[in-house]
Structure 1
Amino acid sequence: MDWSTPHAGILLIDEAGYKSKAAPGVLDTWLRAGVGFNTSRYTSLTDPKRRRESGNNFHFIAADRQFWQNDPDGTPFRGIYGGFSIMEAPPGLNRISRYCELRLYARGAFDSRPSDLIALVASNTSWSKFAVDAALTNGQLAHRETTAITATYTAHLAPGVYAGVGLSYIHNPTRITHTPQTKDALNLLLSTLIFF
């Protein structure tokens, strides 16, 4: 049996950061940055007829910070948080070249639901300029980015069991190309998470 995948290589990821957990009078802080390197051979988006290339990579930075504590002496992790993420990869080898996210969320906003999470997330996905230009050259309709705003509520139902509901508005919901009939999307999100 052949367990290999054509053109697949090794993916190496490393991350460094700083984390300070919430404590009475001490706000939760989490800073991190990382890089990845992939030896797999990818089709070049600058010239798809060229031989596959190795050396794909990415890098990211992210930060989350607690701004206010509901109950600093009892459950200091409860409160309001904010954060951001920025991830980038070479547009010549990746259809997504940049992803940016801003988030505002509350952990344990209600005394009766101390483990629940409310979140508002805005994200922007930038598509590879080479892939977009190739689509436009071929006469296709294409957009250079996708933007989404998502609001969710996640309830902690039992140990290891969570249920979520949310609403997401997406501007340019397709990957790169679209049709004249393509409109913005409004999605209802329902989820159940079980951790063992």
Structure 2
Amino acid sequence: MSDRNWEAEMAKIDKQLASVSDEALLAESKAVVPAKAGGRTVAAPAVPAAARPSASASASASASAAQVVGAWRGWVKVAIAVGAAAGLMFWPWPAPCGGSLLGFTAATGAVALLGLWSAFGTWRHRLGLAHVASLLVVVWGLALGAREVLPRIGYATPTSDRSEGWSCPASSGIPSAAPVPR
């Protein structure tokens, strides 16, 4: 046997555990960590960060502050993406052909990309509701883009609002005869 004083060692551990609140121990406890001992795996409980003598309160406070800032940044990204998606509903110019169609189609692609940008941020910070909103923005942007693109590539039936061409019909160059007021 060893000549270690186990009573003194256990007293040190008890003193460290007594200095940490129960809530901190439960909140920061980790799963059982396997440890190798003599060629076989032995389950050894992980020591909570709060019970370690080297852990400081400022490190945990800065980690929680970083989580709060990350959550706010995630929600701001979602707000930008949702605002852009809502803005497509109020697109101010008709987009039947030409440059206005190209602008609207680019805007729908940009909204889908904004949705992806916010989805990555919300996934990283584990913001479930914000992530779902981001994915809905992606679907919205792709759906509006598909509504304009599909009739023009021959996949969907063209309508009076969405013709089958990308460019506007050329004018004949002859001005139309307007009645002259008397």
Tell me the TM-score normalised to structure 1 length.
0.20
The structure richer in helix per residue is 2
The structure richer in strand per residue is 1
Higher relative contact order (CA 8 A, sep 6+): 2
